[in-house]
């Protein structure tokens, strides 16, 4: 059995929005790995550069002419060395030469090829025998903001977290029930509702922010009573997309309101208390660490999660930890480029008591790797939609992982909740 890399093949494929993206195969003497890259709609300023100048075509060319000659012959078993070599080839902090998505796909495909060489599932190769905890699925049920067009809520995502389920299958099934229940309520509320969905499979409708929360809270309560465990609503505000730098206000166009930082804080706190939110992501713009810290101090039994705030960057996380800004962090591997970089941030988050939430991107592919990463790296939540195909790929893979683990499988714990 050999894990020496024999070939690396890159190609252009498409994501769930029909946009071009990169896919990479890593072939070892005894194994094979394949990974493709997601996109994302609201992107943090601190993220790496996705592609070099010239886009996906140039990225594929870089793999063929620049990267493959350096990696072929190396041992895929040494993940850190592979990822370090990708950094050395690029030689910039933000992967602008080869592209962050190029590094991302090679890094993940390499890990899968090694796992395949050993005849192990990826989560077990990366996490060892001790990896047996399943994450709770955090799902987008109603979309707004940049995920939609026309009249829709300003808040980008209205989410559900089925915390309390005894198995991943039960948790995923509860999210599907809530998705269906919201559809039933929307049909009764809006006669012009035409079953519209965003590219994450969440419903889009002509409703306000508060109407969306009322509907979601109602659906969560009804389904919680049906399944006998708690399904809590949450939101991803994506506040950087609402922030107006000139006026220093969050502009809620649908509501016809502008809120300064203090008013935004009070507004979010009211939502947490009134609707019993278990999760709030990016309630302030990506540089407002102080407001994140204030909300974290005041919001009880609620995950305050930073996405754009941290961009999976351990240096930005370290600054947040210093002032207690947030208590959870979104992990998107392609925000930093490689598996090793992402793991460094996950480990730093755990040491600080932050909950790592591994996440899809809005323009995703049917690549399932983050399902395995959630189990391998003990991330207690996976954010990956509810019903759309690219999301279902991750959810179904976790059902398979749970089956593989059998009696050893158990759901993760989230201390803050």
For residues 264 and 366, membership in a common domain is answered with yes
Of 119, 141, 162, which residue constitutes the final position of a domain? 119
Q: Is residue 200 part of a domain?
A: yes
Helix 289-298 with 261-275: angle, nearest 10 deg: 30
Note whether 181 and 222 are within 8 A (CB): yes
CA nearest 332: which of 44, 137, 52? 44
Q: Is residue 90 part of a domain?
A: yes
d(C-alpha 105, C-alpha 333), whole Å: 10
Q: Is residue 416 part of a domain?
A: no
CATH number of domain containing 13: 3.30.390.10
Of 119, 147, 175, which residue constitutes the final position of a domain? 119
Note whether 140 and 238 are within 8 A (CB): no
Residue 96: per-residue pLDDT: 96
For residues 83 and 173, membership in a common domain is answered with no
Q: Is residue 126 part of a domain?
A: no
For residues 60 and 140, membership in a common domain is answered with no
Q: Is 298 a catalytic residue?
A: no
For residues 194 and 319, membership in a common domain is answered with yes
For residues 150 and 249, membership in a common domain is answered with yes
For residues 18 and 53, membership in a common domain is answered with yes
CATH number of domain containing 331: 3.20.20.120
Per-residue pLDDT of the chain (417 residues; tens, 9 = 90+): 789 999 999 999 999 999 999 999 999 999 999 999 998 766 667 899 999 999 999 999 999 999 999 999 999 999 999 999 999 999 999 999 999 999 999 999 999 999 999 999 999 999 999 999 999 999 999 999 876 666 789 999 999 999 989 999 999 999 999 999 999 999 998 878 889 898 899 999 999 999 999 999 999 999 999 999 999 999 999 999 999 999 999 999 988 899 999 999 999 999 999 999 999 999 999 999 999 999 999 999 999 999 999 999 999 999 999 999 999 999 999 999 999 999 999 999 999 999 999 999 989 999 999 999 999 999 999 999 999 999 999 999 999 999 999 999 999 999 888
Q: Is residue 124 part of a domain?
A: no
Nearest 5°: the CA angle 313, 276, 328 is 15
For residues 98 and 186, membership in a common domain is answered with no
Distance of CA 325 to the CA centre of its chain: 19
For residues 365 and 240, membership in a common domain is answered with yes
For residues 275 and 404, membership in a common domain is answered with yes
Sheet strand arrangement including 32-36: 5-14, 20-28, 32-36
260: its two tokens: 């300064």
SS3 content of the chain, % helix, strand, coil (to 5): 45, 20, 40
For residues 68 and 175, membership in a common domain is answered with no
Of the residues 181, 332, 383, 394, only one is catalytic, namely 332
d(C-alpha 216, C-alpha 232), whole Å: 9
For residues 284 and 310, membership in a common domain is answered with yes
CA nearest 116: which of 28, 8, 24? 28
Of 119, 146, 171, which residue constitutes the final position of a domain? 119
Q: Is 332 a catalytic residue?
A: yes
Q: Is residue 128 part of a domain?
A: no
CA nearest 89: which of 76, 107, 113? 107
d(C-alpha 277, C-alpha 271), whole Å: 7
Of the residues 200, 281, 286, 397, only one is catalytic, namely 200
Domain that holds residue 234: 133-411
For residues 52 and 200, membership in a common domain is answered with no
CA nearest 241: which of 136, 167, 373, 147? 147
Q: Is residue 127 part of a domain?
A: no
Q: Is residue 231 part of a domain?
A: yes
CA nearest 222: which of 266, 180, 193? 180
Number of structural domains (the chain) is 2
Alpha helices in 228-288 (DSSP H): 261-275
């Amino acid at each position: 059995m050999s894990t020496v890399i024999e070939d690396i093949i890159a190609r252009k494929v498409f994501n769930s929005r029909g946009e071009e993206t990169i896919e990479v195969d890593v072939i070892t003497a005894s194994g094979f790995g394949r990974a493709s890259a997601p996109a994302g709609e609201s992107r943090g300023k601190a993220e790496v550069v996705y592609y070099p100048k010239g886009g996906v075509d140039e990225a594929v060319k870089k793999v063929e002419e620049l990267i493959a000659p350096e990696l072929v012959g190396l041992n895929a078993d040494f993940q850190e060395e592979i990822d370090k070599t990708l950094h050395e080839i690029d030689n910039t902090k933000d992967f602008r030469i080869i592209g962050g998505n190029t590094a991302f796909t090679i890094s993940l495909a390499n890990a899968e090829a090694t796992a395949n060489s050993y005849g192990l599932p990826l989560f077990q190769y990366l996490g060892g025998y001790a990896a047996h905890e399943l994450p709770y699925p955090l799902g987008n049920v109603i979309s707004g903001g940049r995920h939609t067009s026309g009249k829709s809520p300003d808040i980008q995502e209205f989410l559900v977290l089925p915390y309390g389920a005894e198995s991943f299958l039960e948790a995923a099934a509860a999210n599907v029930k809530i998705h269906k229940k919201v559809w039933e309520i929307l049909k009764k509320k809006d006669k012009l509702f035409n079953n519209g969905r965003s590219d994450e499979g969440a419903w889009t409708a002509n409703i306000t922010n508060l109407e969306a929360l009322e509907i979601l809270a109602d659906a969560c309560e009804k389904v919680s009573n049906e399944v006998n465990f708690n399904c809590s609503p949450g939101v991803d505000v994506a506040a950087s997309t609402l922030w107006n730098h000139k006026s220093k206000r969050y502009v809620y166009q649908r509501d016809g309101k502008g809120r300064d930082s203090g008013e935004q804080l009070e507004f979010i706190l009211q939502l947490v208390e009134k609707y019993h939110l278990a999760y709030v992501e990016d309630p302030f713009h990506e540089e407002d660490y102080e407001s994140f810290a204030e909300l974290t101090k005041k919001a009880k039994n609620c995950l305050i999660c930073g996405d754009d705030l941290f961009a999976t960057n351990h240096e930005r996380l370290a600054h947040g930890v210093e002032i207690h800004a947030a208590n959870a962090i979104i992990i998107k591997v392609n925000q930093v480029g490689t598996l090793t970089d992402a793991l460094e941030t996950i480990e730093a988050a755990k040491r600080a008591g932050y909950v790592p939430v591994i996440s899809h991107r809005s323009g995703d592919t049917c690549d399932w790797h983050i399902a395995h990463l959630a189990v391998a790296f003990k991330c207690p939540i996976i954010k990956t939609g509810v019903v759309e195909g690219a999301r279902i790929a991750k959810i179904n893979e976790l059902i398979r992982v749970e089956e593989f683990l059998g009696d050893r499988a158990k759901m993760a714990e989230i201390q803050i909740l």
